[in-house]
Amino acid sequence: MFSSLLIANRGEIACRIVRTARRLGIRTIAVATEADRTWLHWQLADEAVFIGEGPAADSYLNIEKIIDAARQTGAEAVHPGYGFLAENAEFAGACAAAGLVFVGPPAEAIAAMGSKARAKELMIAAGVPVVPGYHGAKQAQNVLKSKAQDVGFPLLIKATAGGGGRGLRHVERDEDFLAALTSAQREAKNSFGDERVLLEKFVTNPRHIEIQVFADDHGNAVHLYERECSVQRRHQKVIEEAPAPGMLDAMRKKMGEAAIKAVLAVGYRGAGTVEFIADGSRDLSPDRFYFMEMNTRLQVEHPVTEAITGLDLVEWQLRIAADETLPLNQDAIPRNGWGVEGRIYAEDARGGFAPTSGAFVLARFWEAPGVRVDAGIADNSVVGPHYDAMLAKVIAHGTDRSQALDRLARGLKKTRIAGPQTNLRFLQAIIAHPDFQAGGVDTGFIDRHIETLTATSGDVWLAAPAIAARLARQAETGADQASGAWRQTAGFEIGGLTRQTALDVLIDGVPATAQMRSPRRPSIPAMPPIPTSSGRATRPLCLPTAARRASISPIRAIAP
């Protein structure tokens, strides 16, 4: 096993990798930007390297900066996490050229599965079922229109180099095809530098079911069962669970075998996910699922697999990267109970899921037996515009689906987040919905129920802890002298012991008035220094002035 690991990522996944690496006795090095100084991964790692001001293109996506950071700190290996450079064949090759162990698959496997069209060709050759469609090289619009008519409507247009729903269009009618194609090609070009697309027959009531796979360099490959990822908005997963509701043993076996064929077809190594579309118009059936794509990395939703297997998938990644064999063979992989995960995003669910930004004056998560939290933020963390809006994940495990959902509901209810708007209420509404409770999920679930799912809002009293934290911090720093929050006519002080005020606030975007009392200015403990590669200790920015001013009035508070 190598002794030092650079984590080329940020947020909750960087924190999650640090914890496993530390347990294995591996020194961890974080990379971070000025925009990330209030996030946790700086503080948890043994060492941190500054790689830029903020924009991803100049920092987390800059291969040269990441490789230089590894050289400066003497890192032996690099873990890419997910997103950013995790599925970049050039980055995997650059690590190998620099003598660094890349915790992931070979560059050749990343390249093979990075093109949806090429991946489907490989799967057809390997005997893996694929959705009927057109995956050819001829990309003239008249050719694609003719092929679309052959495939039949409704169909999907997909960017061949795509992901995250970019360059994806659902077309219902022949007459709408060219406009949708032009739009998809434009978005694909802007997002991936490649305007090529493929066409797929649209599966009615599709369910997104994926298989977790692992392979080593010694000819071994296994799967760790399936995950249900059908609850999505704009093709981004929101709630994931394992196993899939209604999954039959015969179908699980056939999907697992198909996933292993996919792994062996590309000479894979490490963790990966083979994603399938299943026909959800009827009960799940072994003859109605199709290969969609393969993600050549760890997935955001990997904790639900960890929940039902009791295994640490990051540890498996590290051991395989260190040239060890797979820890278990297929027959020895356990499967117990049910796991479910909710992703907490800084976004406005009622405002079209637009990202939100600003400072979180309060970020408290609740963990208990059966409830786990992977978070990247804490009190005073500032969310900016540069990166993905995901803040944390709440993961629950139970003996059955009902218990797992109850535990997830409790974990979300006890989460306290105040600052920019989040989707916390939205997640609660999803798991409480009768159709979801009954296992009636497909990729259209959120769209069908969007009005119901976004109708809830918080209670006025829930803002009080957040406002108290904000005003206490203003008082401590002297900011209240400028803002006059405690100088309002409604505020007064008795004997210098207690202060009261009434403030106008927004609770999930709904105007309200919060009555508050607060003891005199509490002391705010200093945040710990951050170790850096230069050997000098720096302190994180507790709350940048601009962010503080932007969030004082009105305060957004979201907590169940």
* Amino acid 477: pLDDT: 56
* Amino acid 469: pLDDT: 56
Cis previous bond, 243, omega within 30 = yes
Position 252 pLDDT exceeds 90: yes
- The confidence band for 526, taking pLDDT boundaries of 50, 70 and 90, is very low
CA dihedral 303, 292, 111, 305 (to 10 degrees): 10
Smallest CA-to-CA distance from 161 within 209, 207, 107, 117 is with 117
**146 Cβ neighbours under 8 A, 6+ residues apart:** none
364 is catalytic: no
Percent share of the chain, pLDDT over 90: 65
Across 84-99, average pLDDT: 95
Cis previous bond, 55, omega within 30 = no
**Cα gap 435→58, rounded to integer Å:** 44
Catalytic residue among 297, 372, 470, 556: 297
**Of 81-85, 331-335, 509-513, which range is least confident?**
509-513
Higher pLDDT among residues 404 and 534, named by residue:
404
**Of 72-86, 357-371, 499-513, 517-531, which range is least confident?**
517-531
* Amino acid 67: pLDDT: 97
* Amino acid 516: pLDDT: 56
Residue ranges per structural domain of the chain:
4-103, 132-201, 204-336, 461-558
* Amino acid 555: pLDDT: 32
- The confidence band for 117, taking pLDDT boundaries of 50, 70 and 90, is confident
Smallest CA-to-CA distance from 145 within 118, 174, 124 is with 174
Across 94-123, average pLDDT: 91
Tens digits of residue pLDDT in 132-148? 899 888 999 999 999 99
CATH of domain 4-103: 3.40.50.20
Tell me the CATH number of domain 204-336, given options 3.30.470.20, 3.30.70.260, 3.30.460.20, 3.40.50.300: 3.30.470.20
Across 100-104, average pLDDT: 98
* Amino acid 78: pLDDT: 98
Tens digits of residue pLDDT in 468-480? 555 555 555 554 4
DSSP string, 213-228: EEE-TTS-EEEEEEEE
Percent share of the chain, pLDDT over 70: 81
Position 541 pLDDT exceeds 90: no
**Exposure string for 390-421, b = 16+ CB within 10 A, e = fewer:** bbbbbbbbbeebeebbebbbbbbebbbbbbbb
* Amino acid 482: pLDDT: 41
- 293 forms beta bridges with 275
Are 4-103 and 204-336 the same fold in CATH? Answer: no
- 557 forms beta bridges with 418, 507
Average pLDDT over all residues of the chain? 84
Domain 132-201 - what CATH class? alpha beta
Across 214-237, average pLDDT: 94
Position 28 pLDDT exceeds 70: yes
Other Cβ atoms less than 10 A from the Cβ of 385: the count is 11
**Of 62-71, 83-92, 106-115, 542-551, which range is least confident?**
542-551
pTM of the model: 0.79
CB 65 within 8 A of CB 76: no
Tens digits of residue pLDDT in 227-236? 999 999 888 8
- The confidence band for 489, taking pLDDT boundaries of 50, 70 and 90, is very low
Across 396-409, average pLDDT: 98
* Amino acid 256: pLDDT: 96
* Amino acid 280: pLDDT: 83
Position 176 pLDDT exceeds 80: yes
Higher pLDDT among residues 94 and 488, named by residue:
94
Residues counted in the chain: 560
**Of 4-13, 56-65, 488-497, 514-523, which range is least confident?**
488-497
Instruction: Name the pairing type of β-strands 168-171 and 155-159.
Output: antiparallel
